[in-house]
Amino acid sequence: MGKHIRLLAAISPMLAAAGLVGATLLAPTSPAHSQSLGDIMGSAKKVAQAATVSDEEIVVYFGQMSDEMDRQNSLAPANNPYAVRLAKLTQGLDSYDGLDLDIQAYLMDDVNAFAMGDGTVRVYSGLMDAMTDDEVRCVIGHEIGHVKLEHGQKRLKRALQQDAALSVAGTASGGVRQIANSQLGGLVQNVVYAQHSQKAETQSDDYALGFMAANGYNLQGCPSAMDKLAALGGGGGGIALLQTHPDPAKRAKRMRKQIE
């Protein structure tokens, strides 16, 4: 019993992260309680694994999530007008800032885009319909910024800690654990579609301006993209980027000040 108390004291911060610390932890031992203690210890181990997840594992997890998103949505084939336009406006962007990029279009009316830690970038056809080439480029730069500034990676690690089972689900592949397919949908919602902080969005806006300058794109594409989002939001539509991003009018004003 003394050994168990010492061990629980050592892992209590990890248990708290998983919501597993409670008044019953030090109750008298019984066969049923021993089983419960074993379950708790196993969960603590999973939390510890999530807290120490490697960069290699993060890339693999994002790759799984990207595959799941591509399975759920309609990718534009290479000869589709959206794919042709996107390939043209991102020519030379096979990689950027040390990140190998896979930029493709989804045939969906949503005004949205996202990027993941494995270099996946997806732009929705609805956004391409609403924006010019340089505006689309700025959105891409903003999403890459979230990756390079590790906003998504940090969110994924938090998700793994909050649901420790995610860190050990599935079978090993190349020495890296896999997330069970049944859990990918929830993880995508928590990592890709959840709202970033105001600070993270501001950092990614700044990154986007640097991205535009580095590639010789028109920097005015950034504030004008925000103007477009503000106008679309004023129409009362359910714009995905507005649901997860701060006020675009304020962002446009801030960007113009930086460009001047």
Which one of 57, 68, 135, 143 is the catalytic residue? Answer: 143
**Spatial separation of the C-alpha atoms in residues 163 and 187, rounded to whole Å:** 10
Task: Note if 201 is an active site residue.
Answer: no
**Spatial separation of the C-alpha atoms in residues 131 and 247, rounded to whole Å:** 18
Find how far residue 156's CA is from the centre of its chain. 7
Which amino acid makes up residue 204? S
- As to burial, measured by CB atoms within 10 angstroms (0-12 exposed, 13-18 middle, 19+ buried), residue 51 is middle
Token pair listed for 54: 């490697």
Q: What is the largest CA-CA distance in the chain?
A: 71
Question: Which residue numbers are catalytic?
Answer: 143
